[in-house]
């Protein structure tokens, strides 16, 4: 029993359950398994990590602004929403504390990341084989609905776009931790020869899962390999690839290309017509940039719980993160929470990934917390790892 409650096992368990949604047990919405686990995180905090960290300070500031907004909008908030959000913050603080007590060795974390990626790839392959033979519903392998996107499937999350985000950040964490361990960035040769199965499995899953988000994430990850000696090659390939995309009859890739084009144009109405899924993530960014009013009290302190969801249902101008609900002040504090706990350098691929894929939002969605948790050990090793270890 004591072995199970080692810091390493506790931290690995919470990372896994936040990065995976096994729908036969957890369902489509709020997972009672995750809620129960987060409730126990309070016990583990006092038992294993009873101290105040950066994560604690920023989390208290964040929940304080949210509570202030709730007090202002006394008739427009749900206590269950605030409790759920508090549980996520409590769990994140516990995990952060364990990591900074040395829960993970760098070799163990590399194995853990590789295991997560292989698990996603393996389940996706099983789902694709089931689809090929005509099976559309097989809960044992997390296949509970059919996307009608060829071989596209959700793997170990609720939907392909969630899987794409988790796998992209996991692969980025793998690249960065391997870089920290060896003292210099991984080369393409190391990636394709020393880690060939992981690399090919990751690329195969990202290309075939049926998500336009996956192609956006791959584009960002490719920046990791932009070195002076082959920067010209990367730029030329990127231009050629963008020119060839319209000739490739693959819906997720075409959707990603169209989404990027419309984002650069700033046309949220056309984005909604072209790709509702992409619009739900990109339009809030465009709306925030174009319509935010810094002189309004509602901008800084929000309009109450679920305002953002109501605007989404009404196809109105919803802003990024929880600005509509709890205000810009809480969103800014949330950004500092993630930057201080998860990002090694502000100007980095990690920052770009987090902004584009999840918008630095601090909310009640489990897989987003899983993404942040993947990056906490990266920052820990970046600051604390030495080669003699």
Model confidence at 207: pLDDT above 80: yes
DSSP three-state, residue 143: strand
Q: List all residues 6 or more positions away from 194 whose beta carbon is below 8 Å from its beta carbon.
A: none
Q: Quick: pLDDT tens for 244-259.
A: 555 455 555 555 555 5
Residue 288 maps to a domain: yes
Residue 1 maps to a domain: no
CA dist 93 to 26, 49, 54, 115, 334, Å? 23, 9, 9, 24, 14
Which pLDDT score is estimated for 269?
56
Residue 389 maps to a domain: no
Number of domains in the chain: 1
Residue 356 maps to a domain: yes
Model confidence at 125: pLDDT above 70: yes
pTM, entire model: 0.87
Provide the residue range defining the domain that includes 212.
Answer: 7-383
Vertex 330: Cα angle to 326 and 336 (nearest 5)? 155
| Residues 123, 159: Cα–Cα separation, whole Å | 13
Residue 388 maps to a domain: no
Q: 245: which 2 tokens? A: 């995309």
DSSP three-state, residue 138: strand
Under 8 Å between Cβ of 236 and 274: no
Under 8 Å between Cβ of 302 and 73: yes
Q: Quick: pLDDT tens for 71-117.
A: 877 665 677 888 999 999 999 999 999 999 999 999 999 999 999 99
Residue 2 maps to a domain: no
| Residues 324, 330: Cα–Cα separation, whole Å | 11
DSSP three-state, residue 101: coil
Residue 351 maps to a domain: yes
pLDDT-derived band at 231 (thresholds 50, 70, 90) equals low
Residue 199 maps to a domain: yes
Q: What angle, rounded to 10 degrees, do the helices at 328-342 and 54-72 form?
A: 170
β-partners of residue 138 are 143
DSSP readout, 268-300?
A: HHHHHHH-HHHHHHHHHHHHHHHH--TT-HHHH
The C-alpha R_g of the chain, in whole angstroms, comes to 21
Average pLDDT, integer, range 190-214: 92
For the chain, what's the residue count?
389
Half-sphere exposure of residue 91: CA atoms within 13 angstroms, side-chain side = 28
């Amino acid at each position: 029993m004591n072995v199970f409650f080692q810091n390493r096992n506790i931290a690995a368990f919470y990372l896994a359950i936040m990065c995976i949604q096994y729908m036969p047990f957890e369902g489509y919405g709020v997972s009672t398994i995750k809620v129960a686990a987060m409730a126990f995180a309070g016990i583990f905090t006092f038992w294993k990590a009873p101290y105040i960290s950066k994560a604690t300070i920023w989390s208290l500031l964040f929940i304080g602004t949210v509570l202030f907004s709730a007090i202002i909008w006394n008739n427009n908030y749900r206590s269950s929403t605030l409790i759920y959000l508090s549980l996520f913050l409590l769990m994140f603080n516990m995990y952060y504390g364990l990591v900074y007590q040395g829960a993970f060795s760098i070799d163990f974390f590399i194995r853990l990341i590789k295991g997560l990626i292989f698990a996603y790839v393996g389940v996706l392959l099983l789902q694709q084989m089931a689809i090929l033979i005509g099976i559309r519903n097989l809960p044992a392998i997390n296949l509970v609905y059919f996307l009608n996107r060829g071989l596209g499937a959700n793997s170990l999350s609720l939907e392909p776009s969630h899987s794409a985000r988790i796998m992209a950040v996991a692969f980025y964490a793998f690249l960065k931790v391997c870089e920290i361990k060896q003292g210099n960035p991984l080369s393409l040769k190391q990636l394709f020869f020393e880690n060939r199965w992981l690399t090919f499995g990751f690329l195969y899953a990202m290309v075939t899962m049926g998500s336009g988000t996956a192609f956006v994430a791959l584009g960002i990850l490719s920046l990791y390999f932009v070195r002076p000696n082959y920067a010209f090659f990367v730029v030329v390939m990127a231009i050629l690839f963008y020119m060839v995309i319209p000739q490739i009859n693959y819906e997720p890739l075409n959707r990603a290309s169209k989404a990027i084009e419309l984002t650069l144009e700033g046309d949220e109405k056309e984005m909604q017509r072209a790709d509702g899924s992409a619009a739900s993530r990109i339009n809030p960014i465009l709306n925030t940039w174009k319509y935010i009013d810094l002189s309004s009290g509602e901008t800084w302190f929000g309009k109450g719980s679920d305002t953002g969801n109501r605007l989404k249902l009404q196809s109105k101008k919803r802003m990024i993160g929880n600005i509509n609900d709890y205000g810009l002040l809480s969103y800014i504090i949330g950004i500092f929470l993630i930057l201080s706990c998860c990002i090694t350098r502000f100007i980095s691929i990690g920052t770009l990934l987090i902004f584009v894929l999840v918008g630095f939002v601090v909310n009640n969605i489990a897989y987003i917390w899983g993404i942040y948790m993947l990056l906490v050990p990266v920052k820990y090793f970046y600051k604390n790892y030495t080669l003699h270890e």
